[in-house]
Structure 1
């Protein structure tokens, strides 16, 4: 219990600084938040050791930096491979309707987006979504209903795109 309280205090006292640091490195707040959370998760996994360091925050910054560098190297290698070899032959062009749906999904609340993608992309039932997300079946139904309604407001050909949503997502190639 004491370790958990110590970690919680450490996290609350340093998460903004670490996130700001990574944000300054990456220029992307969403990416910075993900990297910071991954670094803090590693700190928690090794908290018995990390908590004994003179500056645990420095350890987390170092881990965050390494995560960021690793992601940068992977992206650089992908870019280099694409430049040398072009797009992989098995990568079909994306259907414009699929692109429109994905862009619209980014504009709706995360809970609705998650329910919609689990239902229409992964073909999970309402019951399976409720179990996976830990909410009531009625909540899943409401999220699907609201999500479809909100999604349709972001699509130009809303009626067709929403009715064919599952089909579009499966046939995006």
Structure 2
């Protein structure tokens, strides 16, 4: 679909906002903050629309901006309320099953880069080539971060099971 005008931006917004907000929610752990960050990413997209509209996949540019904003937010040490952190992500048409709360909590404790790779790989079911493009990293770096994240998740979830 070739996007060229304001109507195309509106169509992209309607289609991608819930999906991007869901990914950002998993990165920051707070639905309201995820929606704010997603809105900020769309503002950036609007500022750069003339350039980005010519890209093959403007949605990937948008995700990259949103995830980077979310990662910066996490690095600043911002923490949401516990109830929001445990709330389900915003629903989209045909949402995949939401992982168990203890899994989501373990994902939230990962380093920002690892968390973004895990969310995009498992919760958005994206191929590593796209993940690397979205995050602006090499594909091998993405695989490495995923491998390290899996180790940390296994340790975290194993300790939760043995503590119970």
Which interval holds the TM-score relative to the shorter structure?
A: 0.3 to 0.5
Q: Which has the larger radius of gyration?
A: 1
Q: Which has the higher contact order (CA 8 A, sep 6+)?
A: 2
TM-score normalised according to structure 2 size:
0.43
